[in-house]
Structure 1
Amino acid sequence: MKKNHKDSWIKALFAIIFIFGIGATYLIFSNEPNDIIEQPSNSRLEITGSSPETLDRENILDSLNNLKLAYDVAIFEKTTLSEELELQKKNIENLMEIIKASKNPSGEQIKIYRKQLSDLKVSLDLKVAEIKKLKSQNKNLLTEIESQNVVMYKQKAENDTLISKQKKLESTLKDASRLSLGNFKVTAFNEKSSGKEQETTKAKNTDKLKISFSVNGNSVAKTGKRVYYIQVLDQKNTVLGENKLIEFGNDKALVYSFLVGVDYQGKMANVYGVLNNDLAKFKKGTYFVNFFDKQEIMGSSSITLE
């Protein structure tokens, strides 16, 4: 009986100790979360210990740096506003240097910095809008210039065609109005003491060569005086007669024996000229005669004296 009472008492004591241990453990672990929760709060204060003004300062610097990049993009457009944009970009850089130098700015300074940042943004917006307007105007101007160039090109092509047609017409009229020569003839004459001329084929009897040709009629050709050049060559290709040189101004020249003039009136005309050999007698052989209208040869003839 006594032994059973002792065992009950021991069991009760263990139960009290067990309950006390659980309560102590609960108290210990219930206090730990409070300590853990409070620690991050202390750490956060240490990390974010900067003042609101300092944070504003950093934000303003970031905004200014982004604004500077935006100005670089606008400057890259290379418009008439580039110089003004470069100046504004320099103002941004100067403002950034000033802000960087102020480590602990006051609230009033922050307001001033914000105001300057806002003004620079507004200025950029206005410049960007103006650049867009200029680009639009330039695009319209280029379109107008291209249209004008197309019109001018077409007009030039039409003018070139008209000029070409005019030149062809002038050439046709010139060819049509040109007088043609014909009936080229060379005759040797012996002049008697009585003054009478007698045709001959003997060199020793020849006193002169009578050279004749006809000017054909052309209703398109202009009337008036015309001059033709006669060139007489002997057996050695020596030019007989006046032996004069005439230049025509287009790098062409002619040595002629004598001139023949005619007053052309729209009808066929027979023309002749005479070559006298006063210095020496005509020698045996063949003489060649060329007929020229300026530098252009119109025909030729020849005579052989025995």
Structure 2
Amino acid sequence: MKKQYKSKWVKALLAVFFVFGIGATVFIFSRETNEKDEKNKDVTKVKTIVEPNRESLAQKNILDSLTTLKLAYDAAILEKTALAQQLEIERKNIENLMEIISASKNPSVEQIQVYRRQFSDMKASLASKGIEVSKLKSQNKNLLNEIENQNVVMYKQKAENDTLISKQKKLESTLKDASKLTLNNFKVVALREKKSGKELETDKAKNAEKFKISFSVNGNPVAKTGKKVYYIQVLDQKNTVLGENKLIEFGNDKALVYSFIVGFDFQGKATNVYGILNSDENPFQKGTYFVNFFDKQEIMGSSTITLE
């Protein structure tokens, strides 16, 4: 009886150890499996971080290509052709597309295809514009050469015109000098008149009744004929202008105060001219008088007379 009871107890104990062993085995196997799964997940995450997907790589490649394309547009714009404004608009479109692509997170395959088509269109447009830019550059170069050639011709023509103008001015100056009248033999004498009417020269202030002022005009066949006018200015010891004492302006900021005017008809031959300055109510005083002869504002000569 005791032996039978002991055998049952041993069987029960073995059954407990068997169940415990199976449980331990299942627990260890399950733990190893979970650890492997966790390791696989970690490896997948690392690969995901280290290795971007195809769409992300395509997105980066498109951005790099757009950057290169933008630089090409920058260079084309610097050529400053008639297409510069259009090129600037297309460059702005590239910049806008780059901003859109950069802001896109995890783009889909369809989005990448759209970006590629847009990039392709922009690249083709630049190629087309590049041909036009080259043509315009060639045209501009030809135009610049033509302008330069025209400038050379115009410079030569201007030089010839300047030479002709200079010669004409010299000729006009020569003709003006040649046609100009010259005065000489400037003379002034004091006169007194006898009862008979005869006039005699005097150097006495108390006897002087008038000044006879004379000069000669040289003959000149190329000078313009007609009426000529000269202005006579007589100054006393106090530098006072005697006679009419009138002011005349010549319109070029020049003016003259004169004593009287001498006019005559010039016909190309030498002529002697004179004028009279009367003492009137103001007798001549002792001292030296200065007489100046003017052709308008230009002084032609001078003379003096001294009365005792």
TM category, shorter: 0.7 to 0.9
Contact map agreement 1:54 1:105 (CA 8 A) in 2:
no
CA distance in 2, matches of 1:164, 1:289: 39
- The one-letter code of the counterpart of 2:297 is Q
- Change in Cα spacing, 1:99 to 1:267, as seen in structure 2 (3 Å) is closer
CA distance in 2, matches of 1:266, 1:228: 16
Contact map agreement 1:254 1:295 (CA 8 A) in 2:
yes
Shift of 1:155: 2.2
- Change in Cα spacing, 1:49 to 1:211, as seen in structure 2 (3 Å) is closer
CA distance in 1, matches of 2:96, 2:272: 102
Whether 2:301 is the aligned partner of 1:293: answer: no
Matches within 5 A, 1:5-84: 56-84=58-86
TM-score normalised to the size of structure 2? 0.74
CA distance in 2, matches of 1:198, 1:97: 115
CA distance in 2, matches of 1:296, 1:193: 40
Whether 2:280 is the aligned partner of 1:278: answer: yes
TM-score normalised to the size of structure 1? 0.74
Residue in structure 2 matched with residue 115 of structure 1 by the alignment: 117
Residue in structure 2 matched with residue 259 of structure 1 by the alignment: 261
Q: Secondary structure at the match of 1:170?
A: helix
CA distance in 2, matches of 1:49, 1:275: 123
Shift of 1:278: 0.7
- The one-letter code of the counterpart of 1:189 is L
Residue in structure 1 matched with residue 169 of structure 2 by the alignment: 167
> Which of 203, 226, 229 is the matching residue for 2:228?
226
Q: Which runs of 5+ in 1 are unaligned?
A: 1-42
Q: Secondary structure at the match of 1:279?
A: coil
Number of residues paired by the alignment? Answer: 261
The RMSD of aligned alpha carbons is 2.8
Whether 2:108 is the aligned partner of 1:105: answer: yes
The share of aligned pairs that are identical, in percent, is 73
Shift of 1:251: 3.2
Q: Which runs of 5+ in 2 are unaligned?
A: 1-43
Whether 2:192 is the aligned partner of 1:190: answer: yes
- Change in Cα spacing, 1:120 to 1:213, as seen in structure 2 (3 Å) is same
- The one-letter code of the counterpart of 1:236 is K
Shift of 1:290: 1.7
Residue in structure 2 matched with residue 146 of structure 1 by the alignment: 148
Q: Secondary structure at the match of 2:134?
A: helix
Shift of 1:57: 4.9
CA distance in 2, matches of 1:291, 1:180: 11
